[in-house]
Amino acid sequence: MPDLATPSKTIEILKKHNFSFQKKYGQNFLIDRHILEKIVTAAEISKSDCVLEIGPGIGTMTQYLAEHAGKVIAVEIDKCLIPILEETLTGYDNVIIKNQDILRIDILNLVKEYNNSKPVKVVANLPYYITTPIIMALFEQHIPLETITLMVQKEVAERIKTGPGSKEYGALSLAVQYYAKPEIIAVVPPACFIPKPAVSSAVLHLKKHPAPTVNVTDEDFLFKIIRAAFNQRRKTLANALTNADNLKLTRKEITDTLKKMNLNESIRGEALSLAEFAVLSNQLMLKNIDNID
Ligand code: SAM
């Protein structure tokens, strides 16, 4: 049974290897077995799965993953952690350790090499500074994957999960919900980590939609509209889109389209659902193309 998930074992291994925490890598190691079990259960990992773990640290979660999965690919940026991982993962012949930056590695190629391009399950206790870039990279690069189960800042999990009308609702909520169904599995207090982070965390589970849930003519244009709407979230949607440098739309074209959709012309972006953004972007895309020509 894996046994690293206690304060004493974690401190023992860190001392043995004279390890110094690197703040720039967001190193907060999990020391709570219940949370590890919740993550593995939420990710529904079985022996037929290949798991991509981002940031294994000293291998605490990696051991749990290796026990349950067929294969684990663990990508760790900090070279000082590699000898520790080699020690803590001795005895697991189903773990591949890569000393690389997840934001620079070719993930598509990694999945091709180790899982024949079949869907993987991504599991990570993420450094907070890469939460948004990594989630978006996984979806936008169309990495073959089924689910993403992540430890993130509680506030970020709430932002991703929320819908129209809430003040947390924004471009990140819409981008993630376009690709997946988010669920918050557990709230995790700072005391579950060494060292303790300044804020609470949450386990977020994202189940990728098998097919898009909204009909979108041009994904890039949809995201341009969404970003423009929330870049100036205190302005009306019509003003925010008219002011956007990368869109070529007149205020009248936008308000006419809103009227056609039975939406008030003074509505703000934060009131629109993903389905409404999809309809709006499909209609405005044609006008934008006409205005460029
Ligand atoms: N999974 C371990 C655990 O739960 O105890 C460690 C989690 S710690 C919050 C984040 C880990 O991600 C650290 O080991 C850190 O060195 C690693 N990391 C940070 N940035 C990374 C990056 N760009 N690519 C790969 N790993 C990274």
* Angstrom distance (rounded) from CA 56 to CA 61: 7
Q: Residue 99: CB partners within 8 Å, gap ≥ 6? A: 76, 77, 79, 82
Residue-wise pLDDT tens digits, 187-246: 999 999 999 999 999 999 999 999 989 999 999 999 999 999 999 888 999 999 999 999
Say yes or no: CB of residue 73 within 6 Å of ligand 1: no
Contact criterion met (CB below 8 Å) for 39 and 149: yes
| Protein residue whose Cα sits closest to atom 5 of ligand 1 | 29
DSSP 170: S
Backbone angles phi, psi at 243, to 5 degrees: -75, -15
Contact criterion met (CB below 8 Å) for 53 and 75: yes
pLDDT band, residue 128 (cuts 50/70/90): confident
Q: Residue 246: CB partners within 8 Å, gap ≥ 6? A: 224, 228
Say yes or no: CB of residue 153 within 6 Å of ligand 1: no
Say yes or no: CB of residue 64 within 6 Å of ligand 1: no
State the closest ligand 1 atom to the C-alpha of 75, by its place in the atom list counted from 1: 25
Say yes or no: CB of residue 2 within 6 Å of ligand 1: no
Give the pLDDT of residue 293: 64
Say yes or no: CB of residue 61 within 6 Å of ligand 1: yes
For the chain, give the percent of residues with pLDDT over 70.
Answer: 99
Say yes or no: CB of residue 230 within 6 Å of ligand 1: no
Mean pLDDT of 97-115: 97
Q: Does 17 score more than 70 pLDDT?
A: yes
Say yes or no: CB of residue 25 within 6 Å of ligand 1: yes
Ligand 1 geometric centre to CA of 195 (Å): 13
pLDDT band, residue 290 (cuts 50/70/90): confident
Ligand 1 geometric centre to CA of 46 (Å): 23
Q: Is 66 left (phi over 0), alpha (psi -120 to 50) or beta?
A: alpha
| Protein residue whose Cα sits closest to atom 18 of ligand 1 | 55
State the closest ligand 1 atom to the C-alpha of 103, by its place in the atom list counted from 1: 23
Q: Which residue has the higher pLDDT, 177 or 291?
A: 177
Q: Does 18 score more than 60 pLDDT?
A: yes
Cis peptide before 195 (omega within 30 of 0): yes
Q: Does 13 score more than 60 pLDDT?
A: yes
Give the pLDDT of residue 95: 98
**Which of 118-122, 154-158, 264-268, 287-291 comes out lowest in average pLDDT?**
287-291
DSSP 74: E
Say yes or no: CB of residue 72 within 6 Å of ligand 1: no
Give the pLDDT of residue 127: 87
Say yes or no: CB of residue 55 within 6 Å of ligand 1: yes
| Three-state SS at 147 | strand
Q: Is 59 left (phi over 0), alpha (psi -120 to 50) or beta?
A: left
Give the pLDDT of residue 232: 85
DSSP string, 1-61: -----SHHHHHHHHHHTT----GGGT--EE--HHHHHHHHHHTT--TT-EEEEE--TTSHH
Q: Which residue has the higher pLDDT, 132 or 1?
A: 132
Q: How far is CA 202 from the centre of its chain?
A: 12
By DSSP bridging, strand 50-54 and strand 71-75 are parallel
| Protein residue whose Cα sits closest to atom 23 of ligand 1 | 101
Q: Residue 159: CB partners within 8 Å, gap ≥ 6? A: 168, 169, 170, 172, 173
Helix (H) or strand (E) holding 98: strand 95-98
Q: Does 139 score more than 90 pLDDT?
A: yes
Give the pLDDT of residue 2: 59
Contact criterion met (CB below 8 Å) for 153 and 190: no
b/e for 221-250, b at 16 or more Cβ within 10 A?
Answer: bbbbbbbbbbebeeebbbebbbebeebebe
